Chain A
Amino acid sequence: MAVYKILAFGIAKDIFGGRAIEIALDERATIENLRSALEDKYSKLKQLSSYMIAVNDEYADAANIISTHDEIAIIPPVSGG
């Protein structure tokens, strides 16, 4: 197992109860693994119309493999401008 740090913004911050959380997953976990682990622990995430996950400042795909050195962030629907 490895511990991943996840940053949260916007409404995700309210769901996590803070700017960042830590979650334990297998080494070489995928974005999809992360998504389901987060949704198990924070079921309110599933109520969002959608959300993306970013790795090192880029939107990531479900199959992307993450490492504990990556900067990982939950991106709820954006509303800038």
Chain B
Amino acid sequence: MIDINITEKPLDVQECIKMVMSPDSGGIDVFIGTVRNMTKGKRVVGLEFEAYESMAMKEMKKIAMEIKSRWPVHKIVIHHRVGVLQVGEVPVVIAVSAAHRNAAFDACRYAIDTLKQRVPIWKKEVFEDGEVWVAEHP
């Protein structure tokens, strides 16, 4: 099972965990991204996420398929939020279930690392005195 979503609504972490539960799984690994209040010593007021939605959905599906072909995992959920988020809110949730923990850990890490490298989603940091598009992976 693979479930991919991009939404403006707040992400439901519990729901993501529930979606990957299965009786044949021995563990679930979850990555929850949260909006941090500081960047390089500057206070962040909020973040704005923008997605090229059709392509981002496709790239996220590809990542899930790559995981399926590389690790013996059962279920994968990748949900990303767009729009304006406040400090502490959750822009991304990744949940992976597997029979054994190593596959779940490795797959979850691969999912977030690869998402950050190639899924066409952008964040703009909003500071008290202006805003700037982030380019973390030049």
Contact = CB atoms under 8 A, between A and B. Distances in A.
Interface of A: 7, 9-11, 14, 48-50, 54, 57-59, 73, 75-81
Interface in B1-57: 33, 49-52, 54-56
Contact of B51 (A11, A58, A80): A80
From DSSP, what is the main secondary structure of chain B's interface residues?
mixed
For A54, A73, A79, which residue has the most chain B Cβ atoms within 10 angstroms?
A79
From DSSP, what is the main secondary structure of chain A's interface residues?
loop
Interface of B: 33, 49-52, 54-56, 58, 80, 91-92, 112, 115-124, 133-138
Contacts, number: 77
B118 A57 contact: no
Contact of B122 (A7, A50, A80): A80
Contact of A50 (B92, B119, B133, B138): B138
A76 B122 contact: yes
Nearest to B117: A78
A7 B134 CA distance: 19
A57 B55 contact: yes
Given A9-B120, A9-B122, A10-B122, A77 B137 contact: yes
A45 to B, nearest CB: 13
A70 to B, nearest CB: 13
Contacts of B119: 78, 80-81
5 contacts: A54-B55, A73-B120, A76-B135, A79-B136, A81-B115
